Structure 1
């Protein structure tokens, strides 16, 4: 499994397939394996890179001094430089879209196409920001994601009514329950505060290229509702698609739809 040291910490990633490069940037509290259906479908045609966020999967701790989504974008650019990739199609879901869009804004010459999924470039609404921060405080204090907090956090990622005994639901719950205290306190909680304390970048969205940008959102996404996607698509002037029968992790709840949409979009870029 390949690693690269960035700002003193090992960043874990996968690099699979050959062809034009595609970077998959995933959600908070998930690792690169969330992209398994898309990696399998894209890698016969593209060079697919997928990374683990700091403190997630096999990546090391959040590097000292990392304080914003701009820092995450800069660190991802360092990965591309390490791999010798000059231009990449970036597919970012949730926080992956938040820092991915910032990378596209700061280094547009490096981005051949941009897909933003179940994400939002505005600031977190104040009520939800305070709510998420209170959950992060509880996790930090306990040194664990307690069963009570898991009952709140896990359903957020899925469409309402998902079977809590389903493999997808149980896998996430079990993985979060097993996170050690040090990783939670040094990386997971700070990463959450960076994500939910982000600044508003909606005013910059008109700088993105509408001809090479696509927005997607699960039609039943609760934390990042479709109305936010519509708002951003209007500001960019780009197309958007709803992912049927899917919530926040739309690429796993309806992998066939998302994979086909990505293949169709990337084929023309």
Structure 2
């Protein structure tokens, strides 16, 4: 498995296919495997890089001194430099979009295109921020994601009508339940606080290139609802596509639609 040491810790990534490069940046609490349908399809024509966020998947713990999404963006650029990749199309879902925009604003010359999925570049609304921080505190104190917390956290990621007995739902629940205490306390909880305590970037979205940007959102995304996606797309001056029958992890709940939309976008960019 490929790793690169960044800020003293091993970052794990997938590198598959050849052609113009696509960087897939996923959601908090998910590893690069969340992109499996897209990796399989896109790697037929493109070089696909998908990384594991710190403390997720096979990546090491959150490096000392990593305190913001700007740090995550800088570390992703180190990965691209390590791989001698000059330009990518970045597809960022949830926190992947949050740090992906920071990469785009700090290194616009490195991007061929930008897809923002189920994400929001404003601050977390205060009631939601306080609620998420309270959940993180409970996880930190317990050292485990308890069944009661799983009942709260897991449904957030899916459309309201999903079958809770489906493999997608149950596998995610099992993965969260299995997270070890040290990983939760050293990486998952701090990464959550970085994510939900982020600064407001809405005032800078006009700096992005609307012609090479796309906003996508599950039409039933609860934590990042479609109105947020439409607001961002208007500020960027780019299209906004709603993914039918999908919640927050729209690329898995309607993988066919998302993959087809990404391929259409990529074809126009390369």
TM-score, length basis structure 2: 0.99
Residue 110 of structure 2 is aligned to residue 110 of structure 1: yes
Give the match for residue 193 of structure 2.
193
Residue 7 of structure 2 is aligned to residue 3 of structure 1: no
- Aligned positions of 1:24-173 closer than 5 A: 24-173=24-173
Q: CA deviation at 1:161?
A: 1.8
Aligned pair count? 269
- Structure 1: state its 5+ residue gaps: none
Return the alpha-carbon distance in structure 1 between the equivalents of residues 100 and 75 of structure 2.
11
SS in 2 for 1:144: coil
Return the alpha-carbon distance in structure 2 between the equivalents of residues 181 and 202 of structure 1.
35
- Structure 2: state its 5+ residue gaps: none
CA-to-partner distance for each residue in 1:190-230, whole Å, 9 max, x for gaps?
A: 00000000000000000000000000000000000000000
SS in 2 for 1:268: helix
Return the alpha-carbon distance in structure 2 between the equivalents of residues 57 and 197 of structure 1.
23
CA-to-partner distance for each residue in 1:163-204, whole Å, 9 max, x for gaps?
A: 110000000000000000000000000000000000000000
Runs of 4+ in 1 over 6 A off after TM superposition: none
CA-to-partner distance for each residue in 1:125-167, whole Å, 9 max, x for gaps?
A: 0000000000000000000000000000000000002111000
CA-to-partner distance for each residue in 1:5-45, whole Å, 9 max, x for gaps?
A: 00000000000000000000000000000000000000010
Return the alpha-carbon distance in structure 1 between the equivalents of residues 65 and 226 of structure 2.
34
Return the alpha-carbon distance in structure 1 between the equivalents of residues 217 and 66 of structure 2.
28
Return the alpha-carbon distance in structure 2 between the equivalents of residues 53 and 173 of structure 1.
18
RMSD (Å), alpha carbons: 0.3
CA-to-partner distance for each residue in 1:43-94, whole Å, 9 max, x for gaps?
A: 0100000000000000000000000000000000000000000000000000
TM-score, length basis structure 1: 1.00
Return the alpha-carbon distance in structure 2 between the equivalents of residues 98 and 111 of structure 1.
15
Return the alpha-carbon distance in structure 1 between the equivalents of residues 117 and 161 of structure 2.
21
